[in-house]
């Protein structure tokens, strides 16, 4: 396996010392090493992958050097536009090294939401003309970089390392100190919330551990699956919930979002709170300040006053939850609140080690919800 600290040093020797991106589970040890080894100005965790590409372009303009942009392969979707309309050789010819975690690699068992993306990842890179090399635990990093940077490729535009599962060894770091004011774990909050929602209410849950915990809590309560679990497409749960709330105004719709997912597509909030203002949508951001599902790297939510954000996005109501007592109070207040509602649930990082995954396929999950609503697809 490749030591992530050695990986960082190797790139630094090639004048790549600026890193930006969105954390990925396959790159978790690299992300941990970057947090430890780099000064803050040299490692930026961005809201989405397109942000990171833009940052790399700006870094190159100001220094003449090349940056490294890391992401899960699902993030290529967010990055494609600035890669092909700005950084490409035919436009501004800005080089950068993309470090892409290869979820759903053909032949490797993975979750269903990663399978199609894994299958088409190489074709995507080929289609947009980005040279790439595959990095695994047995690779010679220097040889791959020599190949990838040969013939002046890096000077003409982006190049990519496609990283296989199990490539990076564990980062050698001191134990993390958790500083959180909340007493609630995410799963505790979801369990408390389920005690307050009504049978007719609809739940949309963001990707990662939030959906997994909601699914298992429903199972433990003996309740049939009926929630929409957004197992992929990080950052889009809020827009899905908005579409559902507008389609079914007679139902309350709760959106369980994460702080990292909220920030990834923050522009959805003023559309919900300002443009549409559905009275039946209750937006809940589970704010633990980290990308917990992919390794616990910090988000920028810790710098934001979410009460002011909710107000700026024209939500009529803001409620804050940090423990069991404030949770009960908040849900008791909901019935008397009119207009759009934004709930910040301050939670502490952490989850059960035996947390499972949904046993229903994504298509079954969709049909569970539509069946619960007595909705049939119109052809």
Task: Give the domain ranges of the chain.
Answer: 4-163, 186-372
Q: What angle do CA 118, 131, 124 make, to 5 degrees?
A: 35
* pLDDT at residue 221, rounded to an integer: 95
Q: What CA–CA distance (Å, rounded) separates 304 from 281?
A: 22
In degrees to the nearest 10, what's the CA dihedral of 82, 88, 92, 96?
80
Rg (CA), the chain: 22
Specify which residues 99 forms β-bridges with. 70, 161
* pLDDT at residue 7, rounded to an integer: 98
Which residues fall within 8 angstroms of residue 305, CB to CB, at 6 or more apart? none
Is the domain spanning 4-163 CATH 3.40.50.970? The answer is yes
* pLDDT at residue 260, rounded to an integer: 95
* pLDDT at residue 285, rounded to an integer: 97
| Cβ(162)–Cβ(132) below 8 Å | yes
Q: What CA–CA distance (Å, rounded) separates 346 from 305?
A: 12
* pLDDT at residue 335, rounded to an integer: 83
* pLDDT at residue 123, rounded to an integer: 97
Per run of 10 residues, the mean pLDDT along the chain (length 379 residues) is 97 97 96 95 96 98 97 96 97 98 96 94 97 97 96 95 97 72 89 94 96 96 94 95 96 96 96 94 95 88 94 96 93 88 94 93 95 88
Is 186-372 in the same CATH topology as 4-163? yes
At the fourth CATH level, the homologous superfamily of domain 186-372 is Thiamin diphosphate (ThDP)-binding fold, Pyr/PP domains (3.40.50.970)
Which residues fall within 8 angstroms of residue 31, CB to CB, at 6 or more apart? 23, 24, 70, 294, 295, 297
| Cβ(287)–Cβ(347) below 8 Å | yes
* pLDDT at residue 39, rounded to an integer: 95
- The CA-atom distances, in angstroms, between 29 and each of 3, 114, 159, 163, 356 are 9, 20, 22, 12, 22
* pLDDT at residue 182, rounded to an integer: 75
């Amino acid at each position: 396996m490749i030591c992530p600290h050695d990986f960082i040093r190797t790139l630094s020797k090639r004048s790549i010392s600026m890193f930006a991106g969105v954390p990925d589970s396959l790159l978790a040890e690299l992300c941990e090493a970057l947090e430890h080894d780099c000064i803050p100005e040299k490692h930026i965790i961005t809201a989405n992958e397109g942000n990171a590409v833009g940052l790399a372009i700006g870094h190159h303009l100001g220094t003449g050097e090349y940056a490294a942009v890391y992401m899960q392969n699902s993030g290529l979707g967010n990055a494609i536009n600035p890669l092909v309309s700005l950084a490409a050789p035919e436009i501004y010819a800005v080089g950068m090294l993309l470090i892409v975690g290869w979820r759903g690699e053909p032949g490797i068992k993975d979750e269903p939401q990663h399978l199609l993306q894994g299958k088409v990842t190489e074709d995507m890179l080929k289609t947009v003309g980005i040279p790439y090399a595959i990095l695994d635990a047995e690779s010679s990093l220097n040889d791959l970089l020599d190949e990838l940077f040969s013939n002046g490729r890096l000077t003409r535009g982006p190049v990519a390392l496609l990283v296989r599962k199990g490539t990076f060894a564990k980062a050698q770091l001191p134990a993390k100190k958790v500083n959180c004011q909340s007493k609630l774990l995410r799963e505790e909050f979801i369990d408390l919330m389920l005690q307050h929602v009504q049978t007719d209410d609809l739940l949309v849950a963001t990707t990662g551990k939030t959906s997994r915990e909601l699914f298992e809590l429903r199972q433990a309560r003996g309740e049939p699956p009926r929630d929409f679990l957004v197992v992929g497409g990080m950052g889009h749960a809020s827009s899905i919930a908005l579409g559902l709330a507008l389609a079914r105004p007679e139902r309350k719709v709760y959106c369980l979002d994460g702080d990292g997912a909220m920030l990834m597509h923050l522009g959805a909030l003023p559309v919900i709170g300002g443009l549409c203002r559905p009275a039946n949508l209750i937006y809940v951001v589970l704010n633990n300040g980290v990308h917990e599902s992919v390794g616990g790297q910090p988000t920028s939510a810790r710098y934001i006053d979410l009460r002011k954000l909710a107000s700026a996005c024209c939500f009529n109501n803001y409620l804050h939850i940090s423990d069991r007592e404030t949770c009960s109070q908040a849900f008791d207040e909901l019935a008397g609140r009119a207009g759009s509602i934004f709930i910040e649930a301050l939670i502490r990082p952490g989850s059960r080690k035996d947390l499972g995954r949904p046993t229903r396929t994504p298509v079954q999950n969709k049909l569970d919800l539509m069946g619960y609503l007595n909705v049939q697809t119109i052809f």
